[in-house]
Amino acid sequence: MNKIYNYFIFFSILIAFPYISNSQNFMNSGSITGNFQMDAQYYQKDSAIGAPEVPEQLLMNAFANILYTNGKFTTGLRYESYRNPMLGFDNRYKGSGIAYRFATYTADEFEITLGNFYEQFGSGLIFRTYEERNLGYDNAMDGVRVKYNPKQGIMLKAIIGTQRFFWEEGPGIVRGGDAEFALNDLFSSLAENKTKITLGVSAISKFQATEEILYDATKKFDLPENVGAFAGRLNISRGSLSLSTEYAYKSMDPNSLNNYIYRHGEALMLTAAYSKKGLGVIFSAKRIDNMAFKSKRTETGNMLFINYLPALTKQHSYSLSAMYPYASQPNGEMAIQGEIVYTIPKNTILGGKYGTELKINYSRATSIDKKALNDSIAIDEKATKGYTSNFFKFGDQLYFQDFNIEVVKKINTRIKGSLSYVNILYNKSVIEGHPGAPDVTANIVIADITYKLTSQKSIRFEGQHLISKGDLNDNEDPSKGEKKNWVMGMIEYSIAPHWFFSVMDQYNYGNDENDKKIHFYNVGLAYNKNSSRIQLSYGKQREGILCVGGVCRQVPAANGLSITITSSF
Amino acid sequence: MKKTATLILCILIASIAFSQNQENKVKKLPSVIIKDIDGKSINTAELSNNGKPIIISFWALWCKPCQKELSTIAEVYEDWQKETGVKLIAVSIDDSRSSARVKPTANGNNWGYEVLLDVNHDFKRAMNVNQIPHTFVLNGKGEIVWQHTSFAEGSELELIELIRKLNKGEDISGH
């Protein structure tokens, strides 16, 4: 309670500050904006799908952001309430309070932020603080950030602070800086040059007091208090071609994710793209080696990540193709991805009257090459240097592979639709951490057709079919059979711009076990008015992994009535 | 101590609420530095369209309705531009996992939009966007006069109707 009042005082001072520093115009010139979201669900026990009994019956997550801007001054806060956290959210969120507050002041070339902030250096390989409220992911900094833009083409940033850990803060202090130079803005001789070059360098250091962690009963790990990380990046583009790369290095950082090995970490990302009107081609490759970087060395969950290791795989949007999603393996991964987006021109045989969109995407992730240090030390053995690795060699373990193709076509003024095929190979034992579980292969076909009834009313059909092999009902016991085939159907009726109605069913008809051939049905209704939306749905939710914006979390099976209200002002 | 803090907060909320009643309340774009798809830094407060209206649409590669909205408008975008002078700015909130794929997708799909990359959601937060698609309409003076979330077939017709009204100088805040 005391803490909340401390926040009140803090925020009051922040708001009061411009009163003092500004003229009497203040009252007229400021503006307040914000948003609000509430998700609540009334749960019903359903032992057939594994939905547990919820003692509270109703669980709710809500937040509201309020931003106050007055000229060069902005302040804001976010109130969050989890009464109690909905299923799938960490129970340590239980409670209510002001989880985020900040003040930013811009003075000429400087921008100074006090309080909480989100920031990213380069592609995030050594530093990214980020929030994804729908997943309960938030590793916001609490501290100070200064940005300095001395002249066009140079941006310098410095940060220091600790990270959010539910309602507390992590024990590690994170500090660092980033410098970015846009050469074409910086040098007038290059201003007109068609080749655009941007360079960036960044450094991060984490301090966490040492602690005594024992292994083999009596031995103590040698834990560095300071861990440093450095990264450099380069972007070159010329007309329709572009090339970007980033390399990162992290000093020895024994922690619970890497089994306390005394080895440095490395990451490399490389992307080449070509695109012009009607055609886009991209190729990416990356290597990650021992890059788990957190501001608490014993933390194993999703929280307190200092950096972000993006997966090089497509994020699928349809429910069955999203059934087997991939997440980067921070301890070691080699990955490649290629994609072609092509529009077959109008008035050709394949293009038809309106043209046809074609997307082909392929990705593959494997382990990195790891060799034992010597005959007596196992690979990844704690309190050793872990292993040696050939930087350019792919490991022999396949983690994930995805080949997918999508065709989007407008048939006439009333009908348009898309057809997709997805082929996935999913290493369940590594990705989900179930040692011994076999690999899963899945073939998915999806049709999505919209039929326009009038200019405002339309009806949309979605049909999906999945054939899987190797997806055990019980990862410890193959005799309990496999999940095998799924079918999914949905009908959605919309009246623009306000109303949506939908009915859907996902049916695991191919399951080896008869009592697991379950219908996951759902009916929904949504109403939108300007920037507000209210959504109601009733039905069953399949247990699985939900991914939004590059972050995934496990969602449990649930059954019941849910409501979402969201609004911005 | 607690009473003082509560009192200060009440006074502040009251004074701010009061100041909201002033007539000259306009919402302009916040100032956030993000990048365009060629890697150039852009200050969002300086987005402009020569005194004509602007549509800002927040989207992502993983968001199907967003891409439907952008593809639907793309078909009529040239006509809209000729008729009203409107400009659409498509702000991708894809993070560094897929932000590199945005430019090839936008070009490959033949979208004629200005596309910006908000990889760490700084602009999204400053604009109070919760769910996407979230679309804003700015009048010729750069004031945010309308916003809407979600996309259904036919929503684009309402959008262009609003732009036409703006060009005629009508107030659309009641829509």
What pLDDT digit, counting tens, does each position of A437-477 carry? 999 999 999 999 999 999 999 999 999 999 999 999 999 99
B123 within some domain: yes
Six-digit token string for A29: 């010139």
Contact B154 A457 (CB under 8 A): yes
Lowest mean pLDDT among A165-179, A417-431, A552-566, B132-146: A552-566
Query: How far is C-alpha A331 from the chain's CA centre?
Result: 18
B13 within some domain: no
Flag whether pLDDT at A1 surpasses 70.
no
A81/chain B closest Cα distance in angstroms: 16
Looking at residues B91-118, what average pLDDT do you find? 94
| Interface probe, candidates A4, A10, A12, chain B, greatest B C-beta count within 10 A | A12
Contact B97 A550 (CB under 8 A): yes
B128 within some domain: yes
B20 within some domain: no
A218-225 contacts, C-beta under 8 A, 24 or more apart = A219/A383, A221/A254, A221/A260, A221/A382, A221/A383, A222/A254, A222/A262, A222/A383, A223/A254, A223/A297, A224/A251, A224/A252, A224/A253, A224/A254
d(CA B154, CA B158): 7
DSSP characters for A457-496?
Answer: EEEEEEEEEEEEES-BSSTT-GGG-B---EEEEEEEEEET
How many C-beta neighbours within 10 Å does residue A288 have? 27
Q: Name chain B contacts of A533, Cβ cutoff 8 Å.
A: 131, 149-150
CATH number at residue B101: 3.40.30.10
Please count the structural domains in chain B: 1
Q: Closest partner residue to A279 among B12, B60, B108, by Cβ?
A: B108
Contact A549 B30 (CB under 8 A): no
Q: How big is the A-B interface in CB pairs under 8 Å?
A: 227
Contact B98 A315 (CB under 8 A): yes
Contact B62 A5 (CB under 8 A): no
- Identify the pLDDT of residue A134: 84
**What value does the mean pLDDT of chain A take?**
92
B158 within some domain: yes
Q: Which domain holds residue B74?
A: 27-167
Q: CATH 2.40.160 region(s) of chain A?
A: 38-61+83-93+102-310
Six-digit token string for A218: 């009596």
> Which CATH number, 2.40.160, 2.130.10, 1.10.287, 3.40.50, labels domain A38-61+83-93+102-310?
2.40.160
pLDDT band at A301 (very low <50, low <70, confident <90, very high): confident
Contact A284 B100 (CB under 8 A): yes
Contact B97 A311 (CB under 8 A): yes
What pLDDT digit, counting tens, does each position of A341-395 carry? 999 999 998 888 899 999 999 999 999 999 999 999 999 999 999 999 999 999 9
- Identify the pLDDT of residue B11: 55
Residues 6+ apart with CB under 8 A from A12: B5, B8, B9, B12
Six-digit token string for B44: 């969002």
| Interface probe, candidates A3, A4, A31, chain B, greatest B C-beta count within 10 A | A31
Rounded to whole angstroms, what are the CA distances from A424 to A322, A415, A475, B51?
Answer: 10, 30, 19, 49
Closest-approach residue (CA) in chain A for B135: A531
pLDDT band at A244 (very low <50, low <70, confident <90, very high): very high
Q: Name chain A contacts of B106, Cβ cutoff 8 Å.
A: 280
Lowest mean pLDDT among A120-129, A458-467, A484-493, A530-539: A530-539
- Identify the pLDDT of residue A3: 58
Helices A2-21/B2-20 angle, 10° precision: 50
B134 within some domain: yes
Q: Closest partner residue to B108 among A119, A317, A341, by Cβ?
A: A341
Closest-approach residue (CA) in chain A for B152: A496
